[in-house]
Structures are given as C-alpha cells and as structure tokens.
Structure 1
Amino acid sequence: MDMNSNASNSPRKHRARRLLAAATVVVLAALGTVPATAATRPMTGHDTASATAGRHEARGTLLSVTPVARLGRAEAAAFISGAGMSADTVRHGVRAYRLSYATITPQGRPTTATGLLVLPEGGSHRLDLVSDTHGTMAHRDYAPSVGEDFGRYAPYLHASAGRAVAAPDYLGLGQGPGRHPYMDTDSAVSASLDMLRASRTASRHLGRPLTGDVYASGFSQGGQVAMALGKALQDGADRHFRLRALAPVSGPYDIEHAETPALFDGRVNDTSGLFYMTYFLTAQNRLHPLWKDPSEAFREPYAGIVDDLFDTHHYEEQIIPALPATLKELLTDDYYRKLQHPTGALLAAVRAQDGTCAWKPAVPVRLYTSSGDTDVPIANARSCAADLAKRGVQAPVIDQGETGHNETYLTSGPQIVRWFDRLAARG
C-alpha cells in the first residue's frame, strides 16, 4: 500500500528521532517581518484559477504566512547529517514558513490546507522551486509545517542547496481541517498544486520571487504524488509553472500488481503492511464506500476501533499496539480473500490511485528505490519504469541496495540534489 516514513520504525526509534530533531533544530528565532499584506488579507496565488462560489477564495489563494524556523548553514548541515544524510550539498542556511491556503476537498468543495515553504538564506534572488511531497503520516503533527523531524529533512536538504521548497501537508494533516483522505491521488495532487500557487505568492512577498521552474520529488506516498503532480504540471495545470525534472523515491506506483501482492508473499513486512492497509481501507471507505458495516471487513474487536485510530490524532505508537500482528488476524476471512483478488468497489478504489506513471514525461525522470525495502518493494519502481518505457521514456531505476525504506531516502536525497544541480546548470 503506501509507504510511510514512520510506520516501520519501532516506538523506541520513533522517540529517538524526535529527540534528535529537538537536539538539532535551533530554537526558533525572530525571522523578520512578514509583509502586512501577507499577514492580514488573502493573496491570490495565481491569475488563471477560477474563484469558487460566494465568499470562497480562489484555489491557491494564500491565507496566512507564519515563520516557524530559521537555521544557519552550520545548523542546517548538522540537522541533515544528524539524520544520516550527506550534508555536502548544504550551501545556505534556511528559513521556514507555514502557509495556509485555499484548496478543495476530494468532492471539489472549498477547504483549506497548510504546508511548509522553505527558502535559502542567500543564493540567487529568483529561485527555482522543488515540490517535495511526504510519505505516510498518521498523526497530523508529523506533517512538514508542524513536525520538526522526518517531514523536514527533505525540505531543508533542498533549500540549503539554494532552491525554494514547497512541501504540502496534504488535506487533513498539519493544521488543515478534517480527516486525511489517505492515498487519494486526485486530492493529494490538487493540494500540492495549490501549495505551489500559495508558495509563489508568499515567496514574492518575502522578497524571493520564483522562476517558475519546478523540480518534483517525494518519498513513499509522496513519490506516487510527485509522479501525478508532474503529469498535471506538464498538462498545463498552471501556466506559471514549468516541470523540469522528476525524482520520486520509493513510491507505491502499482498497488494492484506490485504492492498488494507483496503483502501476501513476504516482500512487505507484517507491521508495515498491516498499518498501511488499515489506513488505506478506512480512508478509502469514506471516499468510495467499501462496506455497509466495518464488521464486513474487520474482525471484532477491531471493527469498532479501526476508523477512530486513523483520525489524525493518534500516533503510530498508539495505533500499532491496538492492532493485531497480521492482516489475517485483522480481516475477516472473506475480506482477506477479497484483498488478494479485489473486485467491485475495492478494485475501483485501488485503480483510482494507480496509473500515475502511465504518461509520457517530457523531462528527465529518475526512479529511486531499493531492493531491501520491505515497505514499498522495488517492484513498484520497475512497474513505473515499464509504464514509462511503453510510452518511449527510459527512466533509470536507481537501486540503493539492501537498505530499508527510510534509509532509501536518506541515501537518495543528496543524490537527487546533485542531479537537480546538474540539470539546472544546463539551463
């Protein structure tokens, strides 16, 4: 299913990571004054989007800017190296801001979302933009604009190299309202696109206008989102943005043929598979009703608790112990068989998220993955590469070897920065 930046870690590792973040993130300092227009009234994020009915703001309208962090160059390097990543691409300090902006729900109704905008201190006046889309997060406070650990490694990595970074929280995470529609590709793309628009406005008001060039990357769930967002940009979703490159990491590009079968043959570890599939089923049931009563899918006593566990207010340390050890223990016999051979609404929900690689990018693409990943098996990247090859695009699958899921990003992230540097230098 989708692949999360947190679920495969033990609670002990999770607590250690938060302690690491607390030790390496500098105490928030005065970050300068946000222009009055940014703080006191909505700002239109793009000229071409149509306004929603009545009093609702146009999609991508920037609603607020809140400074959340400032790290000098040495502090940024310490934060990145403390995560286990190479810091040799760090050239600048960074300033980070939480943006609130107008977007839409999966049903197309107006709502709001938040995200993290990170700008380098120094470097070019006009900045290229990296869209960084994050992996699975169950608790809203892990989202990039609120959390201070894994959700910020990639944004700080790219910004410290000299680019602006737009990192959406997605719907229902961070400080956005409602539940998170986990693995709903369409709404993840609309929230990410509107985050780009809000970032364009905020960057201009913060004195660092954007060039319009977008380098799209993302990890795990965000790798799949990055591919779909790239297609939207190439198809002309917003005339202000030009897609330059795609570098997703460990995305679940093929739930039907790669990810789901791996749940049953040992390629996905039990804890991660259980976590992701439960999250997926409960979220998708709200979008594409999969059952009339949860007892059709889940055994007791889990049928009565699974939906509430994924309400964005429970941590993984709370969710995982509340579930059994395996999917077979969680699901009814009928639903366990159905998951292996999906039909009807379940198959439709799966296929609605697949196909993000079934297009022809006109920009360079690299697919980062690892053969040792037991959250998102390498078969997903190979399936994506095959879809692209059918359309005449040769995208290398870069295998990081026998590394785990999170470690795949820690290895890939700096490599992606260097690749983006080379592409930018070509003009």
Structure 2
Amino acid sequence: MQNDNSLTGQQTSRTGRRIARRATAAAAVLVLAALGVAPAVAQQPVGAPGARHSDTAHGRGTLLGITPVADLDRADVARFLAAGGMDTGTVRHGLRAYRLTYRTVTPQGAPTTATGLLALPKGGPHRLDLVSDTHGTMAHRDYAPSVGEDFGRFAPYLHASAGRAVAAPDYLGLGKGPGRHPYMDTKSSVTATVDMLRAARTAARRLDRPLTGDVYASGFSQGGQVAMALGKALGNGVDRHFTLRALAPVSGPYDIEHAEMPALFDGRVNDTSAVFYISYYLTAQSRLHPLYKDPSEAFSKPYAAIVDDLFDTGHTEEEIIPALPATLKELLTDDYYRRLQHPTGGLLDAARAQDGNCAWKPQVPVRLYSSSGDTDVPIANARHCAADLAARGVEAPVVDQGGADHNTTYMKSGPQIVRWFDAVAARR
C-alpha cells in the first residue's frame, strides 16, 4: 500500500512496540528540555523567490512558528541512541530541536497547516547540509517526530549529531496538524515534506544556521516510500533552492501491487502487522478512492463498526491492536478478502497511485536498505525497486541487514547511512 498506507511503518506488534518503548524510556527524560516554550512566529512572504507560482498560491512552505522542544549535549544524544540499541560512533555534536508549524495543502489541494521537527547540530560548519528524514507508520498523532520522544526522534538525532540539519515532517494530520492522517497517500506526504524543507530553510536562517541547499534524503518504512518519491520530485526541480545529493531509504513499501499486498496473504508479513496495516490503509484510502460505500462491505462484524474510529489519530497502537482480530480472515468479509488478493477498480487505483516511485533515473547515488528478516515490509519491495532503477541504467545496491526485524533494520542501517552520506559529501 504505499508508504504508510500499505503496510509499512514502525513494527506494530505489541511485543515489538513495548520493547521499543522500554528501550527508550530511560532516555526520554533527556529530551524534555525547553518544552513548552511559546512559538516565535516567523512569517515568510507568499510568493518568495525560488518557489513556483503554483506552490505559493496558498503560501506553501510559509513558516508560521518555531517552538523549541529539545536541547541536548553530545553525551545526551549518545545515551538516547544507545538506549535504542543504535551504534553511536557517528555522534559528534549535541543538538537543538524545534517544532516548526508551516503552511501546506491537503490531498485535494486546499490550504492547511502541518508540523515537523527541525534538528540542528551544536557545532559543525556554519552553513549546513540538510537531511530530509521521513518517518514510518504512526497511528497516534503524538508519536510524530515534533511531539513524541520515541522512535520518531532516533533518525533526526542521529543525523543532526553527525553535523547536518534535519527536517523531519510529521505529515498531514499528525503532530499538531489538523484533521485525519491520509495514510499511505504518497502525493500529499511529498507535498508536506517539500513544504517542510521550505519552512526549515526559513527557520534555519532565522536561527543563524543557514542551509547550503544540498539535500540528503532518507526515510523508514512508510517514509522510505516517501523518500523515493521526494527524490523524484527534487530531481524534477520542484524547488530550485534544493539539490538532491544522495538517496538512502530504508524498508519502504515501494511496490504495493506486486510485493507488499501479496505478502499480506502468503505469510511474509506477520499476522499482527498485516491486520494493523490493512485496517489503517483501507480506512484512510477510502476517503481518497472509491474502495467501499460502507465499512461493512470490507470489514466483518463487529469490526466494521469500530475500525474507522480506531484510526482517528487519537488511539495508540497499544489500544488499536487488541481491538482488532488476529488474522485478516477474521477482519475482512469473504468478498473483500478475495478482492484484495486480486485488486481491481478503486483498490487497484489506490495501490498504483502509491507505486512507481522507483521508475525514474536519479542523477545521484542511491542505496536501498532492507532485511531478509523483515516481516512488516518484505525485502521484495527493495529488490523490485532496484530492478526498476536498473532498467533505467541506475545501479542501486540493496543492503540486506540479514535476520533483523523491521525496527532493528533501521537501527542497523541508520549509522551506515550517516557514514555513506559523509563519504558522498567528501567526494564533492
């Protein structure tokens, strides 16, 4: 299903989530500094130089507020990352982090606002290269990077402590943004990400850490798919202020139709994650595509009456998963169970709207990180992506982290990506 819509995201099994939270609990206190500081509103004129006219019609990327959310020294960052089991060898600096509020658009193109995390290193060069980091599946809005002090902060803190600025969008409907999250809608995730880059450019300048314009794109799970689509947008010149330099997504659902969706039914995706992801995906995509007229067409009783409300961005995974059945057979009607295995109409349109983001020719180095042990987003997604790129003359190695599960795949890949970004930057 696309980024987070299909079946990506952080590992959502109860056991995996609880382990991740216990691992970070001891370090969470480290990121409480500066919470609650009133935002300093910074307005950027609509129609700012360098943006396309169509992008600025609603003031897209206009920075509305900067709220400090964390102030950590180098040792604090190292302890936070180590608590999650991450290699801390690339930690060189402390960091300051801020919640940005900015203007963007809905999937239908109407004006709205969104939030995201900007992390800046304490040290390094005055002008900073920028990492775009896009996160995995999150059901509760407070798990988003600019609000939650958990998994969503690992990647931003990792890259910022290595000496780069990091722009990590919350996406629409998560963090402090209004409305519901259009899960796995790649197009709106990309517009929110591009507009976060624009807001970050303004904020970094106001914080006296201006950006160079060079962008290194990464993302995990749903965010791996978003990172590929963002790379394509940047490569096509979506904003002349930003130049893509390298692309390193992790465990993205790049091929919902031919890799991720089939894996839901053949055992490659574990049952708990399959039920969680497809419930999230169908309820979100039904607001964008004609998937069903009533939830009872897709979901069995009693789940048809509750599933949409479970994904209102106010419920946690720990609340959602026990309320759902153990298998897709129990979750779905017999008809919809068969239809998902051979999608047509709106189901096929929804999947294909998210697919195809590897079908382009990047002019920058690309690495795809995954693991053969991932039972949330099987490695077939990365291999299909690599094949699409190879068909266009681009060699994109698939870095297989072996038997690692979904979250551990990122924990192993993140420091490797930092070092690879360092090597790419050094060759420039």
User: Deviation digits for residues 278-336 of structure 1, max 9, x if unmatched?
Assistant: 10000000011211111110111110111000000000011000000001101000000
User: What is aligned with 2:238?
Assistant: 237
**Alignment partners' CA distance in 1, 2:40 and 2:58:** 16
- Higher relative contact order by CA 8 Å / sep ≥ 6: 1 or 2? 2
Q: Which residue of 1 aligns with 2:49?
A: 47
In structure 2, the partner of 1:292 is 293
Deviation at 1:43, TM superposition (A): 2.0
1:13 is the counterpart of 2:19 = yes
Aligned to 2:177: 176
How far, CA to CA, are the matches of 1:399 and 1:14 in structure 2?
A: 22
| Distance in structure 2 (CA, Å) of the matches to 1:15 and 1:85 | 14
- Cα distance between partner residues in 2 of 1:100 and 1:17: 29
Greater mean alpha carbon deviation, residues 291-300 or residues 11-20? 11-20
The one-character-per-residue Cα deviations of 1:230-264 (angstroms, maximum 9, x if unpaired) are 00001000000000000000000000100111111
1:340-355 alignment to 2 at 5 Å?
A: 340-355=341-356
More moved, 285-294 vs 411-420: 285-294
Report the secondary structure of 2:8's partner residue.
coil
Give unmatched runs, 5+ long, in structure 1: none
Say whether the 8 Å CA contact 2:11–2:376 is kept in structure 1.
no
Which residues in structure 2 correspond to 1:195-234 (within 5 Å)? 195-234=196-235
2:306 maps to a residue whose letter is I
Q: 1:258 to 1:238 in 2, by over 3 A?
A: same
| Contact map agreement 1:323 1:330 (CA 8 A) in 2 | yes
Report SS of the residue matched to 1:186.
Answer: helix
Which of the numbers 4, 28, 31 marks the counterpart of 2:33? 28
Assess if the C-alpha contact under 8 Å between 1:51 and 1:58 holds in 2: no
- Could you tell me which residue of structure 2 aligns to residue 95 of structure 1? 96
Is contact 2:119-2:165 (8 Å) kept?
A: yes
Task: Give per-residue Cα distances to partners, 1:165-192, cap 9 Å, x unaligned.
Answer: 0000000000000000000000000000
Paired residue for 2:75?
A: 74
Counterpart contact for 2:114–2:172, Cα < 8 Å: yes
Residue by residue over 1:181-218, the C-alpha shift from the partner in whole angstroms, topping out at 9 and shown as x without a partner, is 00000000000000000000000000000000000000
Shift of 1:9: 4.2
Question: For the residues of structure 2 that align with 1:311 and 1:262, how far apart are their CA atoms?
Answer: 26
**Letter of the 1:49 counterpart:** A
| 1:26-425 superposed matches below 5 A | 26-29=31-34, 39-44=40-45, 46-49=48-51, 57-425=58-426
In the TM superposition, residue 4 of structure 1 has moved relative to its aligned partner by 1.5
CA shift, 1:81, in A, is 1.2
Correspondence for 2:3: none
On the 8 A contact 1:6/1:14 being kept in 2, the answer is no
Amino acid at match of 1:20: A
| Partner of residue 4, structure 1 | 9
Opposite residue 50 of structure 2, the aligned amino acid is T
Cα distance in structure 2, aligned partners of 1:364 and 1:50: 27
Structure 1 SS opposite 2:330: helix
How large is the Cα RMSD of the aligned pairs?
1.9
Measured in 1, the distance between the counterparts of 2:293 and 2:58 equals 36
Q: Which of 57-66 and 331-340 deviates more?
A: 57-66
Displacement of 1:52 in angstroms is 7.8
Write the distance in 1 (CA, Å) between the matches of 2:239 and 2:266: 42
Amino acid at match of 1:2: L
Alpha-carbon distance, 1:40 to partner: 3.5
Identity among equivalent positions (%) equals: 73
For normalisation by structure 2, the TM-score amounts to 0.95
Report the Cα distance in structure 2 between the residues aligned to 1:21 and 1:6, rounded to whole angstroms: 20
- Residues 330 and 27 of structure 1: CA distance in aligned 2, closer, same or farther (over 3 Å): closer
The alignment partner of 1:115 has SS state of strand
Distance in 2, matches of 1:104 and 1:187, equals 8
Q: State the alpha-carbon separation in 2 of the partners of residues 51 and 112 from structure 1.
A: 19
Say which SS state the counterpart of residue 417 (structure 1) adopts: helix
C-alpha displacement of 1:108: 0.3
Change (3 A) 1:131 1:399: same
Please tell me whether the aligned partners of residues 367 and 396 of structure 2 are also in contact (alpha carbons under 8 angstroms): yes
In 2, Cα distance between equivalents of 1:424 and 1:144: 26
What is the rounded CA distance, in whole Å, between the counterparts of 1:350 and 1:341 in structure 2?
A: 12
Name the aligned partner's letter for residue 61 of structure 2: G
Aligned-partner Cα distance in 2 for 1:279–1:30: 31
| Deviation at residue 48 of structure 1 after TM alignment | 3.5
Give the Cα separation in 2 of the matches to 1:294 and 1:303: 5
Contact 1:44–1:201 under 8 Å retained in 2:
no
1:6/1:137 contact within 8 Å kept: no
Aligned partner of residue 88 in structure 2, secondary structure: coil
Change (3 A) 1:405 1:30: closer
2-side partners of 1:413 and 1:18: how far apart? 17
- Paired residue secondary structure (1:257): helix
* Residues matched between the structures, number: 421
TM-score by length of 1: 0.95
Q: 1:49: Cα distance to partner?
A: 3.2
